[in-house]
Structure 1
Amino acid sequence: MLTTLRTAAEGYLRAKALSRGTRNEYLTTLRKWEEWGAGTPIEQLQRRDIREFLDRVHEQAVRDRGTNPGRTANKAREHLRAILSWAWEQELIEAPPRFPGPRDQRDVAGRHYLTKAEINALYFATYKMGRPRGWDAAYPVGRYWRAALVVFFNYGVDTGTVWRSTPAHEPILRRHVIWDRRSPDREAKEQSPWGWLFYRRVKTGKAFYRPMNRVVHAHLRGLMPDDSQPEAPVFLGGGARPNARFQALCEHAGIKPRLDVETGREEPWELKDLRKTCATYHDEHVPESSVEILGHSVGGITYRHYAHRAPLAFRAIMTLPQPSAFSTILRGKDSECTCCRRRFADAA
């Protein structure tokens, strides 16, 4: 028996602990879908159907003189993605259809995440980082920062998890990087061909065993010397003020400060914005996966159940599309400029 979008949406809303306002937004999108007149079952939905529906939502918002029609269409897009991804998890459909890209919109609350183009610029700007005073590490400071950017993007860790800024922080140590396929967590059934990473959240102290994808594996391998000491920290170069070094890196990359829409003032980017960046791209790739990736505390029974949430995080991390700069290390091109192929000065 084929499944309508209304049936899938009702099942999704029953399974999720959403606020009344969020539920009403989903019901509004469902009403717009039915007014559009699409009777196609979700098993037969194609990208063309979704694009035509989103075009109609945008056109209707323009006719109604909406203040932000692009955001209205993108909201409907997010709702459809969440419902169809849930239907995929419940095996109601074999695979979710491809979605058209989001429309341009005015960011009402300001943009608190970095675009992939900006992340690429940050990655290559690490080659311009100056040698810190008294630096005696085995590799240039930029190599540690490149690996840190990759970890921030994929896991959304706290700053104290990467660099021990205060004595209370527990940074990632070399013994926390596990190269085995099987997870040290006995309850985990998944196997990662690239190994696992262990860390704790600064706020809650909750422990995580996360799979490493190919990009994370390559960058962490590049930080491990032959005489690896288990208790030594993986990441160096944060200093006493990691945010100050990150803001200097943003200047090297030519990234403009973020704009606070409410006050109209420019504010410098901070490392915690990389955590928001991680949440943004994980939710765009696998809707609602950031809840588990970032280790947020939630009240719903579904979110608390480990057997349901851990596989979602595993799939999200292993399939997350990476910024193009992160993949240069896989091709052996990370030591040279992408435009002129000139070798960077600090390339090892």
Structure 2
Amino acid sequence: MSISFEKVAVKYLNAKTLSLGTCKEYRGTVAKWLAWGQGPKVDQISRSDLREFFDWVYEKAAEDGGSNAGRTANKARENLRAILSWAWEQDYLDKLPRLPKPKPQRDVAGRHYLTKADLNALYFATYALKRPRGWKRSLSVGHYWRAALVVFFNYGVDTGTVFKLASFHEPILWRHVCWRPGPPNGQGRDCRYGWLYYRRVKTKKQFYRPMNRVVLTHLKSLRSDEVTMDQPVFCCGSSRPNEQFQRLCRLAGVKPKQDVETGEEKLWVLKDLRKTCATYYDEHMPESSIEILGHSVGGVTYRHYAHRDPLAFKAIMSLPQPTAFTALTHGFDGECPCCRRRFPQA
């Protein structure tokens, strides 16, 4: 019995439990097949028909100004292969047609987070940061940047929470660091390494987060007898921390990120460290980034009744750290923990 490709595609989507985005992609491929207007019945589709269809999709994407026409054609190829394979399993066609080779496409990773190798390179590059003009602190600017990288990675805080950029920003002060194991707000279990308080710039929501061993070691390395309780913990040595961070990326040899659609290179900014934090928390413990980063979630039960503090506590205390972050905890300040090589200005 002959049946159209459109009806087979509808049956395929009804039989599979696919996400809304995936279903939208399949419907887009079906719309392209109908716009092509030369599609035979599903049991009469041949290799030449598929080749002509993919060529048409490629040329149409190029005419419409698409920056990666090969990727568009290959996406349609994947969708057609899945539908035709299912139709063959359901005996809608006797023989599965061979698909043409994929079109050449530009493979762009579209990565918007820093790998642990990048974080290691950034950490070690802080030793090469030059002394800012007018710098009068006893510690080098690299000391503050190393501790800031650790806090960004573990808590995904906003840039204004670490480095005060505007008058309305509330940075982390020394009085926000609690060295005692008991929780400052009286809720939750004790943490042997102490607690850290901060407030989100966007929502003004308050957070009391436990400190793991790496965070505690780096904050202690910044503490001295001269600091006051109302003094900010971090100082980047510049009024433009993003420019300082991009200078740090150049010193570390971290390549700029690329846009997945256009392939355009963009410089890394401190906000990308927040995305990096979310990526590794979800990889380590699924759904933990929602609570760690303070994202708003739907559902009355989740927002008002579900107690998420134990999940955040467990995620923070067990998050695998980049190798460079653990160097100071093992007493290797200024040298690589694996080969003990010294770094500039260490």
Using the size of structure 2 for normalisation, the TM-score is 0.68
CA contact (8 A) 2:195 2:211 kept: yes
Q: Which residue of 1 aligns with 2:253?
A: 254
* Shift, 1:341, TM fit: 3.2
Q: Which residue of 2 aligns with 1:172?
A: 172
* Structure 2 SS opposite 1:126: helix
Q: Which residue of 2 aligns with 1:48?
A: none
Taking the aligned partners of 1:171 and 1:195, their CA distance within structure 2 comes to 19
* Structure 1 SS opposite 2:307: helix
* Structure 1 SS opposite 2:222: coil
Q: Which residue of 2 aligns with 1:308?
A: 307
Segments of structure 1 that go 5 or more residues without pairing to the other structure are: 1-18, 25-63, 68-105
Matched, 1:292 2:291: yes
Q: Which residue of 1 aligns with 2:203?
A: 204
Q: Which residue of 1 aligns with 2:44?
A: none
* Shift, 1:323, TM fit: 0.4
Q: What does residue range 56-75 of structure 1 map to in structure 2 within 5 Å?
A: 66=78
* Structure 2 SS opposite 1:210: strand
Range with greater deviation from structure 2 (224-233 or 161-170) = 224-233
* Structure 2 SS opposite 1:305: helix
Taking the aligned partners of 1:306 and 1:320, their CA distance within structure 2 comes to 26
Q: What does residue range 59-208 of structure 1 map to in structure 2 within 5 Å?
A: 66=78, 110-186=110-186, 188-208=187-207
1:47-74 CA deviation, whole Å, 9 max, x = no partner?
Answer: xxxxxxxxxxxxxxxxx9748xxxxxxx
CA contact (8 A) 2:108 2:263 kept: no
Taking the aligned partners of 1:303 and 1:233, their CA distance within structure 2 comes to 34
Taking the aligned partners of 1:243 and 1:113, their CA distance within structure 2 comes to 16
* Shift, 1:131, TM fit: 0.6
CA contact (8 A) 2:132 2:237 kept: no
Code of the aligned partner of 2:182: R
* Shift, 1:230, TM fit: 0.2
1:233-280 CA deviation, whole Å, 9 max, x = no partner?
Answer: 000125211110000000000010001121111000010000000000
CA RMSD of aligned residues (A): 2.6
Segments of structure 2 that go 5 or more residues without pairing to the other structure are: 1-17, 24-75, 80-105
% identity of equivalent residues:
64
* Structure 2 SS opposite 1:136: coil
Distance 1:23 1:297, change over 3 A: farther
Taking the aligned partners of 1:130 and 1:203, their CA distance within structure 2 comes to 32
Using the size of structure 1 for normalisation, the TM-score is 0.68
* Structure 2 SS opposite 1:132: coil
CA contact (8 A) 2:327 2:336 kept: no
Taking the aligned partners of 1:276 and 1:245, their CA distance within structure 2 comes to 19
Taking the aligned partners of 1:166 and 1:138, their CA distance within structure 2 comes to 25
* Structure 2 SS opposite 1:135: coil
Taking the aligned partners of 2:144 and 2:214, their CA distance within structure 1 comes to 14
CA contact (8 A) 2:160 2:169 kept: yes
* Structure 2 SS opposite 1:150: helix
Distance 1:165 1:311, change over 3 A: same
Distance 1:194 1:338, change over 3 A: closer
CA contact (8 A) 2:334 2:342 kept: yes
Q: Which residue of 2 aligns with 1:268?
A: 267
Code of the aligned partner of 1:294: L
Q: Post-superposition, which runs of at least 4 consecutive aligned residues in structure 1 deviate over 6 A?
A: 106-109
Taking the aligned partners of 2:305 and 2:228, their CA distance within structure 1 comes to 32
Aligned length: 253
Q: What does residue range 12-91 of structure 1 map to in structure 2 within 5 Å?
A: 21=20, 66=78
Taking the aligned partners of 1:248 and 1:306, their CA distance within structure 2 comes to 45
1:136-159 CA deviation, whole Å, 9 max, x = no partner?
Answer: 112000010000000000000000
CA contact (8 A) 2:323 2:337 kept: no
* Structure 2 SS opposite 1:308: coil
* Structure 1 SS opposite 2:148: helix
Taking the aligned partners of 1:302 and 1:107, their CA distance within structure 2 comes to 42
* Structure 1 SS opposite 2:297: coil
Code of the aligned partner of 1:171: P
Taking the aligned partners of 2:113 and 2:124, their CA distance within structure 1 comes to 18
CA contact (8 A) 1:155 1:294 kept: yes
CA contact (8 A) 2:193 2:213 kept: yes
Taking the aligned partners of 1:23 and 1:191, their CA distance within structure 2 comes to 44
